[in-house]
Amino acid sequence: MSIAVRYFTRSGNTKKLADAIAGRLGVEAKTVDNGLLERADILFLGCSYYAFDVDDAVKEFIRANRWNIGTIVLFGTSAMMKSVYKPVKKIADEAGVKLATEEFHCRGQFHFAHKGRPNEEDIKMAADFAESAAKKLG
């Protein structure tokens, strides 16, 4: 089973989760600027909310790499929202890519709100989540 980790970040919060997830799974976390050169049976995809949507770079990544994606498993951070499932599901459906219902999402620091998040506990929970999702879906 092949696993890849890709993420988009503006202020580094989601990268913290991506690095922990990739470290636990023994792969390298890369930004969505790095296309999938080989098929990923499970793609852990990290993204956050910006003005009530995910960044266009995430959408474009899914579209451009659709032939190399088995199942997407989402993770991310945001200030208020609890999931990025809905906007990503729309893009995944249009691209014909499977999106797992399992997702990890936690608070991310936004100016003075949620200072220090994701914290150590969030980061460990993200890695635990990824390990069990990989076992379940693999």
Ligand X SMILES: Cc1cc2nc3c(=O)[nH]c(=O)nc-3n(C[C@H](O)[C@H](O)[C@H](O)COP(=O)(O)O)c2cc1C
DSSP 66: G
Determine the Cα–Cα distance for residues 24 and 118; give it in Å rounded to an integer.
Answer: 17
Q: Does 86 bind ligand X (CB under 6 A)?
A: no
Amino acid at 133: A
Indicate the pairing of strand 40-46 with strand 69-78: parallel
- Is 124 a residue that touches ligand X (CB under 6 A)? no
Residue ranges in 14-33 that form contacts with ligand X under rule CB under 6 A? 14
Query: Which region among 12-20, 29-37, 96-104, 122-130 touches ligand X (by CB under 6 A)?
Result: 12-20
For 64, phi then psi, to 5°, come to -70, -25
Token pair of 14 as six digits = 């989601």
The answer to whether 80 contacts ligand X (rule: CB under 6 A) is yes
Residue 118: asked if its preceding bond is cis (omega within 30°), the reply is yes
Binding marks (x or -) toward ligand X, 28..57, rule CB under 6 A?
A: --------------------xxxxx-----
Stretch that binds ligand X, among 62-70, 77-85, 86-94, 126-134 (CB under 6 A): 77-85
CA 26 distance to own-chain centroid: 16
37 token code pair? 């050169």
Look-up of token digits 């379940």: 136
Region binding ligand X by CB under 6 A among candidate stretches 67-75, 87-95, 102-110, 129-137: 102-110
Nearer to ligand X, 70 or 76 (CB): 76
Query: Per rule CB under 6 A, is residue 77 in the interface with ligand X?
Result: yes
Binding footprint of ligand X on the chain (CB under 6 A): 9-14, 48-52, 77-81, 108-110
